[in-house]
Amino acid sequence: MRINEITNWAYGVTVILTVLSGGAFILSTKSADQERVAVEEHLALDALAEELALGAEERSDEARLYVMRGEERHLLAFQEKEADETRLEGTIGDIRSLGGSDAELAALVEVERHADVLDKVEEAAVAAYQGGDRSGARETLFGPEHERQQTLLLETVTRFRQLAGTRTEGAVATAKSRADWWDTAAKAMLGVTAVLFLAVLYFILKRRVAVPLVRMTGIVTRLAKQDYAVEVPLDPRQDEIGEMNKAIHIFRENGLERDRLDAERRADQRTKDLILHMMHRVQACQTQAELAEVVTRFAPQIFPNLAGHLYVLNDSRTMLAEMGTWLEPRHSTASFPMDACWGLRRGRPHLSNHGQDDVPCQHLGESDVTGLCIPLTAQGDTIGLLYFEERPGHEMAPESARLYLELIAENIGLAIANLQLRDRLTNLAVRDALTGLLNRRCLDEALARHAREAAETPLSCLMIDIDHFKRFNDEFGHDAGDVVMQYVAQMLLDTIGAAGTCYRFGGEEFTVLLPETGEIVAFDIAERLRQKIATTPLSHRGRILGLVSVSIGIAVSPAQGPVTTLVTRADAALLEAKAAGRNQTVAAGAAKFPEEGGPTPLKQINRPQSPGPRAP
C-alpha cells in the first residue's frame, strides 16, 4: 500500500477515533451530570421527607405543650406550624415534580391523608382546650388515636423515604455506571489513537520513510558525485519510496550507460586519433620496411585484442611474404601462395573460423583460430594482405570496428603501392634498365658525396670493361650482347656483395666503388671477379657464346689522388690493362693527370697471370 493511502487511512481513523473519544467524553460528562442530578434528587427527596416528618412532630409537640401548659407561645407556634400547611402542600408538589415513581406518589398521598387526619385531631384538641375541656384535649393529643395517626404518618414518610432512596440510588448507580463506561471507552479510544499515532510514526515515518530516505541519501550523494559504482538495492515496495528507489536505480543505470557511451566515445576517438597518427606516419615512410615498422607499432595500440601479420605480394605476384608481425599470432607462416587466401581470391575481407559456416582460408591450416583477412588493394590491383586474429581470451573485433580495419587496410595498401611505384620510378631513374645496376648519375653523386663528407676515408675504384664485346654483338646478335652484360653485372653483384657498390658506367664498361678499402684488398677483389667471369662459359638460345673476359683498372683515393680524379685514374689503368693484352688487372700509381699538370707514366702492380683462357 502506498504511503499516501496509509497516511490518509491513518488520518481518517485518527479523526474517527478522536470524534468517537470526544463523543464518549461528552456522553461520560452527561452521565456524570445525570449522576449528579440523581444524587441531588435523592438528597432533595430525603430532605423533603425529613422536613415532612419533622414538621408533623414539631406541630404535635407544640399542640401538646399548649394543652399541657396553656402558654400562648405554644399556641402561636402551633398556629405557625399550621401556617406551614401551605408550604407542606408545596413541598409535596415539588416531590411530585421530581418525577417520583407510582409507589412514591402513592406514599405521598398517604402522607397527605395521614397529615390531614393528624391536623384535624390536633385542631380539635386545641379547640377543646380553648373551650375548657382540658382533659379531653389532653386525652385526645396523648391518646392512642393520635399516636396511631402520628405513627402511620411517620411510617408512611419512612416508607416514602425508602422508596425514594432506593429509586434515586439505582439512578445514581446507573448514571455512575454509564459515566464510567463512557469514560473507559473514551480513554480506550484515546489509547488506540495514541497507539495508531505511534505506529504511524514508527512504521511509516521511521521504517518506511526515514530509514529508506537515510539510505537513499547516501546513494544520491554518491550518484551526485558521478560515483555510479554505488549499489542501488531494488525495493519491491509499491509506494512512493519504492518509486523513488526505482527512479534512483534508473538514474544510476542511465549514468552507467552514459559513462559506458562516454568511454566508448573516448575509446573510439582514441582509435581515430591513433589511426590518424598511423596514417600520417605511413604516408611519410620512405621504404616498405619503415611502413612495416609503423604498422607493427601502431596496430597493437589501435586493436590490443588482435594479433596479426602484414603480408606483401612479391614481384611475380604469386607469393605473399611477411613484412611485419605484432602480438605473436598463433598462425605465423612467413609466406604462402596467393590462392591460399579466400580474401585475396574474392577481393573482399574474409572471416575464417572453423566453428562458423563459412570456409576457412587454407593458409590457416587446421588451426582453430578466428582470423580476418583484409586484402590490400590500390586502384584495383592487389598489393598484399592485412591479417588479424583474435588473441586467447579475447574476441574478434565487432562489426563496428571492422570499418576501421578496412580503412587502415585501404591506406596501407595505397601507401605500399605508392612506395612500390616510387621504388620502380627510382629504379628507372637511378638504375640501368638492362643490368639493374646503378647508372652513371648515381656514380657521380656517390663520388661527390664522398668528396664532400669523407674525403680522407680510403675509397677504391674498379673500372671494368668487357673484352671484345663487339664480337658478341656481331656474331650472336645484340640479344647475346645483352645477355653477356647481364651476366657480367650479376657476377659483379655476387662477387662484390656488401663490400661496395656496382654501377654501369656506359656501354660495356662498369664501375665499382669500394669504401674504406685499400689498394691491395681492392686488387684481390678485382682478381677474384676477373677469374670468376673468365672461367664460366656462357650460352644463349642453345648456342655457346664462349668464355667472357674483362679488363680491370684500379685507382685509390686519397692515397694516390683526390676523389675528383678517381674515375679518371681508374679508367687510365683500365686502358693500360687493355693495351697490355686485356683480361688483366692494372692498378694506377700515384700519377698526375693532364688536368693536374700533364701526363705521367702509370704504375702497374705485379699481379699473377690469369690461369683462365682469354676471350678472342
Could you list the active site residues?
Answer: 508
Quick one: three-class SS letters along 269-332? Answer: HHHHHHHHHHHHHHHHCCCHHHHHHHHHHHHHHHCCCEEEEEEEECCCCCEEEEEEEECCCCCC
**The pairing of beta strand 538-540 with beta strand 543-546:** antiparallel
For the chain, report the end-to-end CA distance as a whole number of angstroms: 120
Phi, psi of 351 (to 5 degrees): -100, 120
CA distance 564 to 592: 12
Q: Is 456 in a helix, a strand, or coil?
A: coil
Do 242 and 236 touch, CB atoms closer than 8 A?
yes
CA distance 368 to 97: 119
Do 298 and 274 touch, CB atoms closer than 8 A?
yes
CA distance 108 to 105: 5
CA-to-CA dists, residue 202 to 11, 28, 195, 240, 569, angstroms: 15, 32, 10, 17, 115
CA-to-CA dists, residue 550 to 173, 427, 510, angstroms: 157, 26, 10
Do 367 and 331 touch, CB atoms closer than 8 A?
yes
Q: Which residues pair with 503 in a beta bridge?
A: 438, 511
Give percent helix, percent strand, percent coil of the chain, each to the nearest 5.
65, 15, 25
Q: Is 147 in a helix, a strand, or coil?
A: helix
Q: Is 585 in a helix, a strand, or coil?
A: strand
Contacts of 101 (CB under 8 A, 6+ apart): 163, 167
CA distance 459 to 569: 13
Longest dimension (CA), the chain: 223
CA distance 600 to 214: 110
CA-to-CA dists, residue 613 to 529, 533, 537, angstroms: 15, 11, 11
Give the H or E element holding residue 162. Answer: helix 144-199
Do 445 and 554 touch, CB atoms closer than 8 A?
no
- Strand ranges, E, within 96-180: none
**The pairing of beta strand 350-352 with beta strand 335-337:** unpaired
Contacts of 568 (CB under 8 A, 6+ apart): 555, 593, 595
Tell which phi-psi region holds residue 468, choosing left (phi > 0), alpha (psi between -120 and 50) or beta: left
